[in-house]
């Protein structure tokens, strides 16, 4: 295994998406077990040495990531004062797709209470969501998150998404009288509310 770990490091340095163990094994002419063991050993070594990067298994493969402890330094270098983040509207829309997928645009709009067509186009262009067939009843296109979404979020799968309950307001905390005039958005209705024209 003495030459396997350096070979894995060299390959992982040039991948632009998580590399699967089976693919690495085929390329390096090793067994999947040998590759898996070597990858875990490398990951443990980087952690033990306190390196500024780590080797993580996400979205069905392995890839190098900078450690969260050094996020500020990396952000300062990459952005250099430029903000290239998703808007709040895009983040909210992405969250709805992630937790309700596969889901149609009209249902996402119903959950958010605004038209989200423009935001969905942005998420599609960035490769964070993709088409996932059509709704049998209406023929509406359904959307789901992509492996790129998992990669960017550092997740192995959708089952690692955090539970929503801790972030929802407690029912007892809202006085009944205070609900008057507050719109109620039914995620299962098909008609979106007033269009939100400023999102991008």
In a domain, 118, yes or no: yes
Q: Is the pLDDT of residue 174 over 60?
A: no
In a domain, 106, yes or no: yes
pLDDT tens-digit map of 10-68: 999 988 789 999 999 999 999 999 999 999 999 999 999 999 999 999 988 999 999 99
Same domain, 107 and 40: no
Q: Is the pLDDT of residue 171 over 70?
A: no
**Cis status of the peptide bond prior to 165, with omega within 30 of 0:** no
In a domain, 185, yes or no: no
Q: What is the rounded (10 degree) CA torsion for 161, 127, 112, 143?
A: -80
Q: What is the pTM of this model?
A: 0.49
pLDDT of residue 177: 40
């Amino acid at each position: 295994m003495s030459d396997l770990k350096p070979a894995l490091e060299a390959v992982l340095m040039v991948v632009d998406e998580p590399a699967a163990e089976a693919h690495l094994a085929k390329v390096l002419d090793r067994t999947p077990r040998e590759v898996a063991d070597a990858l875990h050993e490398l990951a443990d070594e980087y952690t033990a040495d306190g390196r500024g990067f780590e080797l993580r298994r996400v979205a069905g493969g392995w890839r190098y990531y900078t450690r969260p402890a050094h996020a500020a330094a990396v952000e300062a270098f990459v952005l250099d004062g430029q903000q290239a983040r998703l808007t709040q509207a895009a983040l909210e829309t992405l969250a709805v797709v992630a937790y309700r997928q596969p889901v149609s645009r009209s249902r996402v709009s119903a959950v958010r209470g605004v038209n989200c067509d423009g935001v969905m186009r942005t998420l599609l262009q960035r490769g964070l969501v993709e088409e996932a067939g059509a709704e049998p009843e209406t023929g509406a296109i359904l959307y789901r998150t992509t492996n790129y979404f998992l990669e960017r979020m550092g997740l192995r799968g959708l089952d690692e998404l955090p539970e929503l309950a801790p972030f929802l307001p407690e029912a007892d905390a809202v006085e009944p009288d205070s609900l008057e005039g507050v719109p109620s958005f039914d995620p299962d209705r098909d008609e979106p509310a007033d269009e939100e024209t400023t999102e991008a």
